[in-house]
Structure 1
Amino acid sequence: MVDQHATHETKNLYYRLKNLARNESKILFGMQEATLQGLEGGHSPYILNRRHDGVEAWIYGVRLIQCEYLINTTSKNLNSDYMADQKYPDELCDVKRLTGSFPAIIGFDLYNLKPSELKTTNFLGRLAYERGEVISLVMHHNNPITGGSAWIDRDHGDYHKTVKRLLPGGDSNHKWNEILDKIAAWAHGFKDLHGKPIPVIFRFLHELNGGWFYWGLNNAVGNTVDELISLYRYTVVYLRDHKGVHQFLYAFSPDKFKDKNDYLKTYPGDSYVDILGTDYYFTDHWATKDNLQRSLRELVELAEARDKIPGLTETGYFNNKINDAPNFWNDHVLDVIKREKTTRRIAFIHAWTNQCWLELGHPKCLIWVPYKGHKGASSFVNNFYKDPITVFQDHVPNFYH
C-alpha cells in the first residue's frame, strides 16, 4: 500500500478489493454521482428540470454552478447543501429505481471545494458508506492560476506551464497547497457515525495523458511527463505525510493507451499508486471492443505484476449513443470482459453521471446508464445487473470490518 499508516478500514478495503480483483467471477459496478443527480425524474424537495427531449433531470440539492439553468425552483433550494442540511435521505438513484439496488461504488467530484458542495458530498458519501458501498473521488478543479475551467478549451487565461508553476519552486505552488489543504480538511471531517475516517479511492489528475485538462499532455499548456509525475508524487506526499490523511487509496487512471509502455509513460511509481485504472470511452473508430479487451488485459498484467488493484475507472458510450445501442453495457463492456480469464480480473467497472446542464445557452443531457423508461432499461436489468459476475450494493461484501 502507498500509506503504511492507513486506517484499519482503509487497509481492509485495499486487500479485499485486491482479492476480489483476483477472483475471476466477481466485478463491482460503480457510477458517478448516482445519488446526487439523474434523469428519471423525481419529486420535491429534489430539484427537477424537464427538458425538451422528455428527460426530466433531478438533483439532490443543487450545486451552485447549476443554478443558472434551473427553472421553477424555490429560493431555499438554490443552496447546494439545502437537502444535506435537512438530512434528507438519498432515495433517488436511477440505478436503484431500475434494478432495486444502488451501485457497489459511488463516485463524487470535489469540483472547486466549495463548502456547500463538500457538505453534500460528505453527507451522501456517509450514507453510501453505511450501506457498504465504496467511495471514489475525482476532482475537476478550476485552474488555480487562471481561475478558468479545468478544460483548457474553456479557459481564456494564460495557462501555459501550469503544472510547472504549481510545483515547488513555481510561482503558484502555494495555490496547489491551498487546494490540498482543503482536501485534507474535508477528509479529516469525512467520518462514520463512530467518528472513524471513511476510506476513499482518490483518483486525481485522471486522464493525464490526454490533452483536454490543464494537467494533461500534448496541448498548449506545455506540461512535460516529468512535471506530471512530480505533481502526482507531490500530492500524495503532501496529503499523506504533511496533512496526515490516512484514509485514501490512490488511483492512477490515464485515458486510452496503445501498449504497456504507453500506459507507464506518466506512471509515478509503485510507491505512489494503489489502483491502476484506465478511462475507456467509446468515442471514435479507434475505441473498439477488441482494443478494450487488449487494454484491460495489459492493465491487469501491469497491476498484478505490481501487486496492485486493476479497475476500469470510467467507461461509457459518448454522445448518447446508448440510445441506439440498448445492449451497450453487455455487448460493448461485460461481454468483452468475459472473453478471457485475464480481463475478468478487474475489480470494478465505473460509469459516469446521468446529468443535464446548460452549454452555450442550450440544455444538454448525457445518458450513460439506462433509467426507467429508457430503451436500454430491460437489457441493463436482465443481462447486466442479473449477470452473476456483476456486483451491486445489494450483494456487496463487507469491505471494511
Structure 2
Amino acid sequence: MSSSQSSFPFFQSLAIVLLATGISIAQIDPGATRATKNLYAGLKRSAEKGVMFGQQDALAYGLNADKSRWIGDKDRSDIKTITGEHPAIVGYDLGHIELDSVNNLDGVPFSRIKEDIRINYERGGVNTISWHPNNPVNFSKTTWDKEEFTIRKIMSDEKNKKRFEKTLDKLADFFLSLKGSKGELIPVIFRPYHEHTGSWFWWGADHCTPEEYKQFWKFTVDYLQKTRKVHNLLIAYSTDNFKNKEHYLERYPGDNLVDILGFDTYHRNPPKSDSAFIANATRMVGTIRDLGKASGKPFAITETGLEQLTEADWWTKIIQPIIKNSGLSYVLVWRNGRPDHYYAPFEGNNTVSDFKKLQQSGTILLEKKVASENLYGRPAKR
C-alpha cells in the first residue's frame, strides 16, 4: 500500500482501538505549545537515526586536562572540547529553587541555567530538568534526609498542601520565564521525583505507598499544567533499577500523566560487574521499549555513567551494546563536577578516543545532527 488513501482507514481504526483501550498516542497536555508537541514527535523521530547523547550541567562547568575545574565559560562543554560540538541534550537541576536561592544545589546560578537553556534551544539542542528539592515539610532537611511519609503529610494536611503549592508556583514561574528570542516559550523535559524505586530520597519507595506516590505525581502535574497553565513541559517518568515490568509500573501514575518513559542506572564495581551491568541495562531497555511501543511514548536512559571512567573502552564496550539499535530517544550521563566525580570524557581523559569511536559509529547523535532534525519545527540558529 503506497498511497496515503489506502493506508488511512487502517491507521484510523488503530487510533480508535488505542483510544478505546486507554493507551496514550499523543503528548499528554492538550494545551501544549506547538513547539512542545513538535519536540515530543521529534524525540520519537530522531530515535530512528540514533540515540541523542546528553550530559548533566554540560554547559555550566567541567574539567580541564589537568582535572582542574572550569566554571561558566561561554560556549564551552567538555564534549565540545573533544568533538567540536556540544551534547545533543543538556541536563539541569532546579534543586534549591524552593529555598529562593540564587544558585541551585550544585552552585549554578539560576540565571545561568535560564540563559543556557535558551542558547541550547536556539542551537537546536534539547533541555531536560531534574529537581532535587529539600524536604517540603522541613526545608532544613535536604532531598537525601528521608523524613518518613513526607508525601502523606503534604497531601493529608491542608496547610502543608498550600505550602507545597507555593513551591510549585516557583517551579511554574521558572518554566514560564523560559523564552526564546521571539518571546516564545521554550519546551523542556521535566523529570520530577526520579529514582523512586530506591529509597534515598524523601519520595522513595520506603517513604510512601504506590498510591500515595501516584496521587502526588498527579497533583504536581495537574497543578503545573491546569492551575498554572504551564504548557511547555514534557513529563518524564524515571525509576532507578527495576526488577521487571510489574516493578517498573508499580508507581506509574498512568499514560495520561507521563510523556517519556525512562530509568536511571549506574555502572558500579567494574570490571567484575561489566557483563552483569550490560545484561541488566539491556533487559530494562527492552522493558521500556515494549511499554513505549504499546503506548506510543518515547523512552530513554535518563541517567547513567561510570564514575571516573575507569575503563578506557567503556563507551564502545559497555554503552554501545546497550543502546545500539535500541530505539532509545536519548541517553544522559551525569556531570563532570569534581576531579573525583565525573562521567563524561574531557580533554586528556583516557576514554576520549573510545568516545570518538562511539560517535563515529553513528550510534549516538550530538548537537549538530539533532539540530538538523529541526525538532521544534523551526530552523535552529548556528
Check if 1:98 corresponds to 2:82: yes
Kept in 2, the 8 Å contact 1:35–1:93? The answer is: yes
2:50 to 21, 26, 33: 26
- In 1, distance between residues paired with 2:102 and 2:163? 17
In the TM superposition, what is the alpha-carbon distance from 1:115 to its structure 2 partner? 4.2
Partner residue in 1 for 2:346: 371
Q: Using a 3 Å threshold, how does the CA distance of structure 1 residues 210 and 252 change in structure 2: closer, same or farther?
A: same
| CA distance in structure 1 between the partners assigned to 2:205 and 2:276 by the alignment | 20
1:336 corresponds to: 322
Distance 1:258 1:245, change over 3 A: same
CA distance in 2, matches of 1:209, 1:175: 26
Q: Match of 1:277, as an amino acid?
A: G
Tell me the alpha carbon deviations over residues 255-311 of structure 1, each in whole angstroms, 9 at most, x when there is no partner. 011111110011010000000001011125595211111110111001110111111
Look up the SS of the partner of 1:149 in the other structure: coil
**Which whole-Å CA distance do the structure 2 matches of 1:274 and 1:388 have between them?**
26
Say whether residues 1:388 and 2:374 are aligned partners. no
Which of 41, 55, 59 is 2:71 aligned to? 59
Task: State the identity as a percent.
Answer: 33
Q: Does the 8 Å CA contact 1:257/1:263 hold for their aligned counterparts?
A: yes
**C-alpha separation between the residues in 2 aligned to 1:140 and 1:386?**
35
Mapped partners of 2:333, 2:323: distance in 1 = 15
Structure 2 residue identity aligned to 1:192: G
Query: For this pair of structures, how many residues does the alignment match?
Result: 336
Asked if the contact 1:370/1:380 (under 8 Å) is kept, the reply is: yes
Q: TM-score, normalised by structure 1?
A: 0.81
Letter in 2 for 1:188: L
Counterpart amino acid of 2:343? W
Would you identify which runs of 4 or more consecutive aligned residues in structure 1 move more than 4 Å?
284-287
Name structure 1 gaps, 5 residues minimum: 42-53, 61-88, 357-363
CA displacement 1:104-162 (0-9 Å, x = unmatched): 0011101111345321111111011111000100011111222211012xx6xxx2211
Deviation of 1:242 (Å): 0.1
State the secondary structure of the residue aligned to 1:295.
Answer: helix
Tell me, yes or no, if the aligned pair for 1:164 and 1:170 is still in contact at 8 Å.
Answer: no
Aligned-residue RMSD, C-alpha: 1.6
**Structure 1 residue 166 displacement after superposition:** 1.9
Partner of 2:302: 313
Structure 1 letter corresponding to 2:331: I
Question: What does residue 151 of structure 1 align with?
Answer: 144
Q: 1:133 corresponds to which letter in structure 2?
A: G
Name the SS of the counterpart of 1:311 in structure 2: strand
C-alpha deviation, 1:27, in angstroms: 1.1
Contact kept in structure 1, 2:62 and 2:69, CA below 8 Å: yes
Q: Determine whether 1:126 maps to 2:118.
A: yes
Displacement of 1:11 in angstroms is 0.4
CA distance 1:271–1:168, shift in 2 (3 Å): farther
Match of 2:64 in 1: 40
1:244 equivalent in alignment to 2:229: yes
Secondary structure in 1 aligned to 2:285? helix
* 8 Å CA contact retained: 1:274, 1:308: yes
Q: Provide the residue aligned with 2:5 in structure 1.
A: none
* Secondary structure of 1:30's aligned partner: strand
- Does residue 398 in structure 1 map to residue 380 in structure 2? no
How far apart in 1 are the matches of 2:114 and 2:323? 33
Distance verdict in 2 for CA 1:206–1:57, change over 3 Å: same
* Residue in structure 2 matched with residue 211 of structure 1 by the alignment: 199
Unaligned runs of 5+ in 2: 1-26, 104-108, 378-382
Deviation at 1:335, TM superposition (A): 2.2
Cα 1:170–1:223 shift into 2, 3 Å: farther
**How many angstroms apart in 2 are the aligned matches of 1:399 and 1:377?**
28
